[in-house]
């Protein structure tokens, strides 16, 4: 390229030499300027080539990093898919277990309610003292557990409490004031004594009226008439012992057991 430029310049100088024509030094300066332009173009070309090479290398590195990242992401996605499949399987297993537990709980609730009602039915034939409340407590508990108003755990605790109360009732003793409506139609004031679930007797303040609750084949009934003097005295003594008015002593309890039922052979 330089040779071409020099040839053109030389041809121009030889073609027309005038007094105003450029001197040799100006031509040399022009040649130097052209050389510098050429060198600058070369440097720019080298810089562009280096920039292009660096860009290609950077592009290749970024592309490889992106590919590696895609592979890593793909592996993570596959791992998450496997974990999700396992989680679905575990969820299905837990759901089946929960369903089995719920069915067992429903069966237990039915059995528990039946047990409470059976006990309530047996109490209807039991000792009549405070019987209605004991029966209603069990029936209300059975209904509450069936409808879900009371949870199973709380229901069991209440059932055991009621059962323990029935057991305690059969072993404790109490005496309290009250009126007794006699067969003569009159109300007699006096005191009642209860010995567990075996005896409930009344002793009148008049020292004459006495009665006790006897168990018969059809239930319980008060016996007042035709009591032997010894039986009346035993009732009065039992009340005084329970009240602490006399020293503890053995007392014959007027207790009547139901007749045994004969079993056919």
Each residue of 111-153: pLDDT tens digit?
A: 989 999 998 888 888 888 888 898 999 999 999 999 989 888 8
Structural domain includes residue 21: no
Structural domain includes residue 12: no
User: Taking a C-beta distance cutoff of 8 angstroms, is the pair 101, 123 a contact?
Assistant: no
Structural domain includes residue 143: yes
Whether residues 164 and 234 fall in one domain: no
Please give the pLDDT value at position 161.
92
Please give the pLDDT value at position 189.
94
Structural domain includes residue 250: no
Each residue of 210-242: pLDDT tens digit?
A: 999 887 777 788 888 888 899 999 999 989 988
Mean pLDDT of 17-22: 50
Whether residues 75 and 118 fall in one domain: yes
Structural domain includes residue 231: yes
Q: How many CB atoms lie within 10 A of CB 82?
A: 10
Structural domain includes residue 260: no
Each residue of 54-91: pLDDT tens digit?
A: 888 888 888 888 888 888 888 888 888 888 888 888 88
With a cut of 60, say whether residue 260 has pLDDT above it: no
With a cut of 80, say whether residue 38 has pLDDT above it: yes
Please give the pLDDT value at position 12.
53
Q: Lowest mean pLDDT: which of 18-27, 182-191, 256-265? A: 256-265
Which domain does 82 fall in, by range? 57-171
Whether residues 132 and 179 fall in one domain: no
Domain boundary among 145, 171, 197: 171
Domains: count for the chain: 2
With a cut of 70, say whether residue 5 has pLDDT above it: no
With a cut of 70, say whether residue 16 has pLDDT above it: no
Structural domain includes residue 97: yes
Whether residues 124 and 142 fall in one domain: yes
Q: Tell me, rounded to whole angstroms, the distance of Cα 249 from its chain centroid.
A: 56
Burial class of residue 262, CB neighbours in 10 A (0-12, 13-18, 19+): exposed
């Amino acid at each position: 390229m330089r040779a071409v430029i020099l040839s053109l310049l030389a041809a121009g100088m030889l073609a027309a030499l005038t007094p105003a024509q450029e001197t040799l030094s100006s031509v040399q300066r022009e040649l130097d300027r052209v050389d510098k332009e050429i060198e600058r173009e070369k440097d720019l070309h080298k810089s562009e080539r280096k920039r292009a090479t660096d860009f290609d290398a950077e592009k290749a590195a970024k592309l490889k990093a992106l590919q590696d990242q895609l592979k890593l992401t793909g592996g993570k996605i596959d791992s998450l898919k496997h974990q999700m499949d396992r989680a679905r399987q575990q969820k299905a297993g837990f759901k089946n277990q929960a369903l089995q537990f719920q069915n067992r709980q429903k069966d237990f609730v039915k059995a528990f309610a039946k047990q409470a009602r059976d006990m309530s039915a047996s109490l209807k034939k039991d000792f009549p003292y405070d019987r209605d409340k004991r029966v209603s407590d069990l029936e209300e508990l059975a209904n509450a557990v069936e409808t879900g108003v009371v949870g199973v755990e709380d229901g069991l605790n209440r059932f055991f409490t009621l059962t323990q109360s029935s057991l305690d009732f059969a072993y404790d003793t109490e005496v309290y004031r009250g009126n007794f409506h006699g067969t003569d139609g009159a109300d007699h004031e006096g005191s009642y004594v209860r010995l567990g679930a075996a005896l409930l007797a009344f002793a009148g303040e008049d020292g004459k009226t006495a009665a006790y609750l006897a168990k018969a084949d059809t239930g319980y009934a008060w016996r007042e008439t035709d009591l032997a003097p010894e039986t009346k005295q035993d009732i009065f003594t039992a009340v005084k012992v329970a009240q602490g008015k006399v020293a503890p002593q053995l007392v014959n309890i007027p207790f009547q057991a139901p007749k045994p039922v004969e079993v056919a052979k």
